[in-house]
Amino acid sequence: MTTTRGIKATAKSGDASTDATTKTGAKMGCTVSRTSCIEAVVNVCVAATVLDNVCVFSRMERAWWPHSIECGGTRPPAKAKFARLNHGSFGSAPRPVLAAASAAREKWLAQPDALYFGGGLEAAIKASHRAAARAIRAECACLVENSTVATAIVATRWRRLGGRALVLSVAYGGVRRSLETILGQDAVVVADVPFPGTDHRNALDGLRVALAEHRPRFAMLDHISSQPAIELPVAEMVATCRSWGVREVAIDAAHCLGQFDALDVPGLGADWWFSNVHKWGFAPPSACVLWSGHLDTTRHVVPSWNGSDGLLDACLWTGTRDYASFVAVERALEYLEAWRSVDGETAPSYNRRGLRGAMNDLQRAWNVEPVYDEDACCSALGMVRLPPGLDLSKDAPGQPASVNSLRARLRDRYGVEAAVGGFRIKNNESSSVEGFLRLSHAVYNTDRDFARLRDAVLDLVAAS
């Protein structure tokens, strides 16, 4: 496969490379002994774990990521057990952020009375609220558990206001199911976004057709849809909804925080926007930023002591639970802002470039056509066609898979975690099920991970 992250370089103690790496490590919270042997790999900025009070630099997936550490030990294995190419589903938090969450949890367990009644917990969550607001260039924002909770909050408000809601055909299944459950199936209408062959023009065309036909009062749009994964022209879509008289527009941006170098959420023109921080924002599970111009007049779906005071206050306490992930959001966003590859790329830029290179290599190796009609539809989350001949009858997108599914075989036989899905594709008057992989590129992924996937699929095709 084409290497997208450069060559391997070893820095000797005391030279300029070591000094630069030492400074970078200190910035990320590490203490480095100058007499140590430091190996810098150019596809990461810093990947460190403290062993015998020495910071040893190596690849991020071998040092700072929990899935790459041998059970019961502290040293990373020579080879990761799994190639994790499904970061988009659950994310992964680096060890410094996990340490912040663990410290918050231990502090609560040691003296909850002081933290709650003394205001320490509330102050820590408010600090994360402020950090989240800064990350999206908003005056204020709050945290909820995940996009599912955010959807329920918005849908419950819409039920009170009354009217039909529009969703996209590529909407996350859980979001659509939530809207149908809360509003009723007859109150939810669908705008068709073509897949495959998606481009921004036909996505906007499908939205206009549905708006003209159904005249919904509300709209739930996707910025980066889940599966199929498509980055959509959300600002133009919001403006289109406004031109058709839609009263409130919400943006399901579950995959957005950490996928863009700069986000100006209020500038999108929507009423609601929410994004998980535990997917691409380096937070531990789970935390979701919720922004709106209606925070003061909207109620939480789990009201407690602050339940009548609007969402900003209601989100500070929904009953006794583990709030450590909320507290760690401030540290996670600091980590996201500071992260750089050795050649200076931010995490969003690095991941997007890495995924495009991997997708091109896989499409050539499998001799399949690209899914997207324009590159703007692909983020650090992208779709690749699977070669013909594979059994996808047990691989429904986003659903638990049986032991005989392609997803399970890739994971259990080849050590590759990837989101597999069979999608029904319309071909003129007929339709057929075609296989796709949704790939993620995270900062810990290497060319070796994608080569492992490439060879596994070719092996399965040869055996079919």
Sign of CA dihedral 126, 130, 132, 133: positive
For residue 44, which of 361, 354, 358, 417 has the smallest C-alpha distance? 354
The mean pLDDT of 308-333, rounded to a whole number, is 94
The answer to whether the beta carbons of residues 142 and 129 sit under 8 Å apart is yes
pLDDT greater at residue 1 or residue 435: 435
Residue 60 has pLDDT above 50, yes or no: no
The answer to whether the beta carbons of residues 296 and 157 sit under 8 Å apart is no
Assign a CATH topology to domain 347-463.
Answer: Aspartate Aminotransferase, domain 1 (3.90.1150)
**Which are the contacts of 409, defined by CB distance < 8 A and separation ≥ 6?**
460
- The tens digit of pLDDT for each residue in 271-305 reads 999 999 999 999 999 999 999 999 999 999 998 88
pLDDT greater at residue 306 or residue 112: 112
Percent of the chain having pLDDT more than 70?
82
pLDDT band at residue 48 under the 50/70/90 scheme: very low
Residue located via tokens 């917990």: 121
Assign a CATH topology to domain 99-334.
Answer: Aspartate Aminotransferase; domain 2 (3.40.640)
Residue 85 has pLDDT above 50, yes or no: yes
Residue 93 has pLDDT above 80, yes or no: yes
**What pLDDT shows up at residue 64?**
56
Q: How far apart are alpha carbons 171 and 322 in whole angstroms? A: 30
Q: Same CATH topology for 99-334 and 347-463? A: no
**Which are the contacts of 5, defined by CB distance < 8 A and separation ≥ 6?**
42, 43, 341, 354, 446, 447
**What pLDDT shows up at residue 395?**
81
List the domain boundaries for the chain.
Answer: 8-61, 99-334, 347-463
Q: How far apart are alpha carbons 91 and 80 in whole angstroms? A: 17
pLDDT band at residue 57 under the 50/70/90 scheme: very low
**What pLDDT shows up at residue 147?**
96
**What pLDDT shows up at residue 67?**
54
Average pLDDT across the chain, whole number: 84
- The tens digit of pLDDT for each residue in 365-410 reads 999 999 988 889 999 999 999 999 898 888 877 777 778 899 999 9
What amino acid occupies position 108? W
What angle do helix axes 120-135 and 329-338 make, rounded to 10 degrees? Answer: 30
